[in-house]
Amino acid sequence: MIKVNESSKIFSLNTKNTQYVFGIDNEGLLRHLHWGKKINNEDELDIEILNEVSTNDPVYEITPEEFPVYGGLRYKENCLKVKFADGTRDIVYKYEGYEIDNDKLIIKLKDKYYNLIINLYYKVIEKQDLIERWVYVSNNSNEDIVIEEIYSAQLHIPYENLRFSNTHGHWAAEQQKFTQNVSYGKIYIENRRGISGHNHNPYFILDKNATETSGEVFFGALRLTGNFKGIIEQTAYGETLVQMGLNPYDFELSLKSKESFTTPSIICGYSDCGFERMSHNLHNFTKENILRKGLRPVLYNSWEATEFDVKCDEQIKLAKVAKEIGAELFVVDDGWFGERNGIHNGLGDWYVNEEKFPNGLNQLIEEVKNLGMKFGIWVEPEMVNPLSKLYKDNPDWIYSFDNRERTTSRGQYVLNMTKKEVKEYVYNTLDELLSNYDIDYIKWDANRPISEPGAKNLGDNEKNLWYEHIQAVYDIVKNLKEKHKDVLFEACASGGGRIDYGILGIFDDFWTSDNTDAYDRLFIQHTYSQIYPIKAMRSWVTDCPNFLSQRIIPLRFRYHSAMMGTLGIGSNILKYSKDEIELSKNMIEEYKNIRHIVQDGDFYRLENTSENDYHNFEYVNDDEALLFVFLPQSKVGHRPVRIRLRGLEEDKMYEFKYNGEMIVKSGAYLMNYGLKIHLRGDYQSELIYLKRR
Ligand code: DGJ
């Protein structure tokens, strides 16, 4: 609900449990007043008159502004910096009014002298206690305006000494959580590569000694793929600021007369009961508003089994076994096209390799379809190999600078997706592929960052290519989906380099990481789940020793770990023993019976109450629940552990099977006393299904 007090000029955004309030102060500045638990009557808030603390702490500097701009006596981080045609680099905004459009509040600001319009958008997502913010800037003057910096929002958290969490890592080590204390100074997280990256992720979590179920948490996730920046700053004036938006690194946007720009949005929220509420609210928001409905299929992907050595006959053999064990979708990964026998050739030439498919791709597709499975295929459409025909014919289709070497990475260049003809080529190629073949699933990969970011076609706006590049990708996929409605798209960038709220919804699945080690995955999946929905988390069962960790983990544990997301199998199943086939059949069947709980239920990261390294996760969907327990290695004592469940109904009875025995316990018992689990040995795991009676 949006409430406006016309006389005091106080705006209140009310969600189910939270309130976000700001107002216009005596200086005409948009002042932040409150974000947190409900205060109910926002009129009790007083927009006190702020006086400068000293000449070095002027009013502009100490005012907690909703959208600070570059200009005047402001030295703090700003959300908008522009250069006007006459060289003025200074914005003085005035409040021009507001508009309410259903669940959106639009605050209208305008420069006092220049015809620059700044509209701040606030969308209230009542049910999930979220506020989505973004900004629209329009040049209504007759001359050009150059935007030098633009962020989606600034957020104010009324505390010092908070804890900040995000991810660090690298390829095959995505989603590694770090938490650090915020003190004076600034924390920056960013990406400069054109993909969101494997290290920092475009979101923030700030908490005040929170646990999963207690404490205050402020968070926000930016809906942008690629070059983002986040700044976290504890100020000298008793608060912590967060800014997120387009990375000003190598950025400039020239707005011609009557042109406008809308930033990506940031979805923000507040929880007064820990991280779990934060995750549930975000997950539920995505399930209701962003993600495509329906359960995700169990897929088989041939990458780890065959890599580039794709042969039709062998793929058919794999497809038959994939069907036998229960896969519903067969995906041919890299290596099916052009002269693709390794990383150095093929990208750009999206025709079927005749040596590998002497009777055409349809031979494989028909086999897959006759087996009753869906068919998927890997592509890397933003890239080109120097040896490809596409590059030979169009050497000017990549990002480059004159007189500079074009750097290859993984043997490839990045196509200049901001060029009309390139965008059309990519769209047409994929459209043809989807029109000529019965394809249900596209795994869209992007294996290198952008370098030599030259795009003369963008003229003055060359430096906006980082943003334009990803907009082209979004557009292509949106348009393809309009025409090929049922096709699912998986976002992959060298593993999990494209996990963000910008791409989510346009793409349906995330490839979470090339690290398919089942134990490492528990950590990756744990951190992923903080912000991102389980339904989009692809997890595969692969072979041991794992190519990366060299670890040997029992197949059952590997299945359990992968069953925590949308299940895939990436093993060389042609080498599976009879026992492995049988186990796979059982596990996949079990997954199909419970996947509605995994994909659509509420996810809980349960506590480990033991000295041993237990990893416990729970899913609850209405009257059903699942408990996953993992123990990599039992230690001294090798004693049982009590795992306290959550999200059940205290006064209801739950039935479940453990160690071959049917057990009935109350929700209160399971949540407050806990379920006794006894695992011993290495890489032990359990999956327990509970049904409310
Ligand atoms: C990187 C991806 O993460 C892998 O899953 C695989 O698709 C390879 N690229 C193929 O080149």
> Does residue 93 contact residue 109 with C-beta atoms inside 8 Å?
yes
DSSP for 393-420, please give it: H-GGGB---TTS----BTTBEEB-TTSH
Question: How many angstroms is it from 210 CA to the middle of ligand 1?
Answer: 37
Of 505, 374, 379, the C-alpha closest to 440 is 374
Question: How many angstroms is it from 118 CA to the middle of ligand 1?
Answer: 42
The full set of domain ranges for the chain reads: 2-289, 299-600, 604-692
- Give the DSSP letter of residue 72: S
The whole-angstrom separation of Cα 139 and Cα 144 is 8
In this prediction, residue 609 carries a pLDDT of 87
d(CA 572, CA 591): 20
Indicate whether residue 447 lines ligand 1 (CB < 6 A): yes
Query: What DSSP character marks residue 290?
Result: I
Q: Which of 25, 111, 333, 445 is catalytic?
A: 445
Query: Which residues face 134 on adjacent strands?
Result: 121
CATH architecture of 604-692: Sandwich (2.60)
- In this structure, the chain runs to a length of 693
445 is catalytic: yes
Shortest-distance atom of ligand 1 to CA 513: 3
Work out which ligand 1 atom sits closest to the CA atom of 495.
3
Say whether pLDDT at 637 is over 90.
no
Cα(306)–Cα(546) distance, rounded to whole angstroms? 15
Residue spans of alpha helices (H) in 518-670? 518-531, 555-563, 578-600, 667-668
What pLDDT sits at residue 485?
97
Question: What six digits make up the tokens of 20?
Answer: 């976000």
CA of 445 to the centre of ligand 1 (A): 7
436-469 burial: b if 16+ Cβ within 10 Å, else e? eeebbbbbbbbbbbbbbbbbebbeebbbbbbbbb
Helices (H), 394-517: 420-436, 465-483
- CA 652-658-661 angle, to 5 degrees, is 90
Q: Is residue 223 very low, low, confident or very high in pLDDT (cuts 50, 70, 90)?
A: very high
| Ligand 1 and 299: CB distance under 6 A | no
CATH 3.40.50.300 at 299-600, yes or no: no
Q: Is the CB–ligand 1 distance for residue 380 below 6 Å?
A: no
pLDDT (0 to 100) of residue 525: 98
DSSP label at residue 170: -
pLDDT tens digit sequence for 308-320: 999 999 999 999 9
- In the chain, the N- to C-terminal Cα span, in Å, equals 38
Contacts for 622 with CB less than 8 Å, ≥ 6 apart: none
pLDDT score recorded for residue 636: 86
Q: Please report the pLDDT score of residue 195 as a whole number.
A: 85
Question: 8 to each of 23, 118, 198, 381, 621, how far by Cα in Å?
Answer: 8, 22, 46, 54, 45
Residue 46 has pLDDT above 90, yes or no: no
Task: Please list, residue by residue across 226-256, b when 16 or more beta carbons sit within 10 angstroms of its beta carbon and e when fewer do.
Answer: bbbbbbbbbbeeebbbbbbbbbbeebebbbe
d(CA 494, CA 445): 7
Q: pLDDT digits over 251-278, tens only?
A: 999 999 999 999 999 999 999 999 999 9
What is the tens place of the pLDDT at every residue in 638-686?
A: 999 999 999 999 999 999 999 999 999 999 999 999 999 999 999 999 9
Query: Residue 202: what pLDDT?
Result: 98
Q: In testing the pocket of ligand 1, which one of 378, 382, 499, 539 has its CB within 8 Å of the most ligand atoms?
A: 378
Model pTM? Answer: 0.97
Q: Is 495 in the pocket of ligand 1 (CB under 6 A)?
A: yes
How far apart CA 474 and CA 100 sit, in angstroms, is: 28
Is 514 catalytic? The answer is yes
Return the pLDDT at 317.
98
Distance CA 31, CA 236 (A): 17
For residues 96 and 118, what is the distance between their CA atoms, to the nearest angstrom? Answer: 10
| Token pair of 73 as six digits | 């006596």
Whether ligand 1 lies within 6 angstroms of the CB of 302 is answered as no
Please tell me the predicted confidence (pLDDT) of residue 42.
87
Look at residues 261, 299, 308 and name the one whose alpha carbon lies nearest to residue 116: 261
Give the distance (Å) from ligand 1 centre to CA of residue 444: 9
Q: Average pLDDT of 622-651?
A: 96
- Residue 295 CA, ligand 1 centroid: distance in Å: 24
- Our CA dihedral for 504, 273, 564, 197, rounded to 10 degrees, sits at 40
Closest residue by Cα to atom 3, ligand 1, is 495
> CA quadruple 193, 198, 201, 202: dihedral positive or negative?
positive
CB 29 within 8 A of CB 35: no
Encoded amino acid at 568, one letter: G
pLDDT at 40: 85
CATH fold for domain 2-289: Beta-galactosidase; Chain A, domain 5 (2.70.98)
User: Is residue 494 lining ligand 1, measured as CB closer than 6 Å?
Assistant: yes
Which residue is closest in CA terms to ligand 1's atom 1?
494
Distance 447 CA to ligand 1 centre (A): 8
E strand or H helix at 228: strand 228-234
Q: Is a pLDDT exceeding 90 seen at residue 100?
A: yes
In this structure, what token pair is assigned to residue 89?
């680099």
Residue 334 alpha carbon to ligand 1 centre in Å: 7
Of 469, 525, 477, 541, residue with least CA distance to 504: 477
What atom of ligand 1 comes closest to residue 307's alpha carbon? 10
CA atoms within 13 A on the CB side of 396: 7
Per DSSP, the residues of 539-560 read EEE--SS-TTT-----HHHHHH
- On whether the CB atoms of residues 216 and 36 are closer than 8 A, the answer is yes
In whole angstroms, give the CA distance from residue 433 to residue 536.
24
CA-511 nearest atom, ligand 1? 3
492 lines ligand 1 (CB under 6 A): yes
Catalytic residue among 349, 440, 500, 514: 514
d(CA 421, CA 397): 9
Overall average pLDDT of the 527-532 stretch? 98
Best of 310, 331, 333, 341 to mutate for ligand 1, by most ligand atoms within 8 A of CB?
333
Contacts of 545 by beta carbon, 8 Å cutoff, 6+ apart = 551, 552
pLDDT for 196? 83
Distance 272 CA to ligand 1 centre (A): 40
